[in-house]
Structure 1
Amino acid sequence: MRPPSTHQEPVTVRVFTQRLSSTPRGARLARHLALHQLHRWGIEHGSGTSDTAGLLVAELAANAVTHGRVPGRDFELTLAYTPGLLLRVDVADSRTERRPPGPGGIAGPRPLDESGRGLLVVQALASRWAVLDRVPVGKTVRAELDLSRPTPPVPGRSRSDGW
């Protein structure tokens, strides 16, 4: 006797990976490449998902080149997109000893501090995020957006911002 068959819809996961120089220019390029790739996948420039993903990539890439930089080593950006379900942003660097705290361990900066808010932005925008070990060396900071829920527009952005 055969078990009843269940119909499952096929799931296509699209993946984009790029290594970039651990410089401010590399961090800017990561954001631009991410937004371009999302547009190619059908996530329109200026949409809530595009704006949120752009901010996540910008924050994580800036952290990778500022705190995770190892001279002579690049950082890596990976986007994984499951249409209608999930967008995952991974930014990996080669530094293991400068590991950010996990999602529950972020202490906010003092009011007059000029830095220290990047992971608070990630925590506020992402559906969930984590810090993972990278093989063979380093760490990956992962942020995920649940696409089954609508992404609100990023405050202060409008469609006339040059997109």
Structure 2
Amino acid sequence: MQFTSTPRGARLARRLVSHRLDEWGHPYDSAPNETLTLIAAELAANAIRHGHVCGRDFHVRLIECTSKATTVLRIEVADTRTERFPSLETPTPPTVDDESGRGLFLVSQLADRWCVAPRVGAPGKSVWAELELNHG
């Protein structure tokens, strides 16, 4: 889905992710729903703060892939800013006094995998994160 690069757009994206996960059988109060919703909130906030290009929206894609052993929940947040890519190195923990820098650190701690890549078919980048849920 496409959202305006505003705080309201980020809030709507977070709510959509939580609602869709609930529809897919991951209830609102479950760990997967709460974790992926928090990741969505951080990635959307970063897209607005660091990836905003005037007049351009950000996009969110949510995917669920299930096999016999695992379910992988993946969120992708894409923006149109090409010159600002986050570092692929593991983010360092912020200090108590830091006013920013917690977003990708939280994502790196909550997700099983995450990465940033150039956006396919459009200018910008896509930051994705995955949660792996084991069955049984």
Q: What TM-score, normalized to structure 1?
A: 0.77
Structure 2 counterpart of 1:148? 134
Q: Is the 8 A contact 2:90 2:108 kept in 1?
A: no
Q: Is the 8 A contact 2:3 2:13 kept in 1?
A: yes
Counterparts in 2 of 1:72 and 1:111: CA distance versus 1, 3 Å:
same
**CA distance in 2 between partners of 1:48 and 1:87 (Å):** 12
Alignment of 1:13-162 (within 5 A): 18-83=1-66, 84-102=70-88, 104-135=89-120, 136-148=122-134
Partner-residue secondary structure (3-state), 1:27: helix
How far 1:82 moved relative to its partner? 1.7
- Once the two structures are superposed, what CA deviation does each residue of 1:66-104 show, in whole Å capped at 9, x if it has no partner? 1100010000000000244200000000001111011x2
**CA distance in 1 between partners of 2:87 and 2:100 (Å):** 16
- Once the two structures are superposed, what CA deviation does each residue of 1:32-71 show, in whole Å capped at 9, x if it has no partner? 0111111111111110000001100000000001110001
Larger C-alpha radius of gyration, 1 or 2?
1
Calculate percent identity across the aligned residue pairs: 50
Question: Residue 82 of structure 2 aligns to which amino acid in structure 1?
Answer: T
Q: Structure 2: which 5+ runs fail to align?
A: none
Question: Residue 125 of structure 1 aligns to which amino acid in structure 2?
Answer: L
How far 1:108 moved relative to its partner? 3.6
| Greater share of strand | 2
**CA distance in 2 between partners of 1:140 and 1:34 (Å):** 17
Structure 2 counterpart of 1:9? none
CA RMSD of aligned residues (A): 1.5
Aligned residues: 132
Q: What TM-score, normalized to structure 2?
A: 0.91
**CA distance in 1 between partners of 2:117 and 2:75 (Å):** 13
**CA distance in 2 between partners of 1:76 and 1:140 (Å):** 9
**CA distance in 2 between partners of 1:107 and 1:45 (Å):** 30
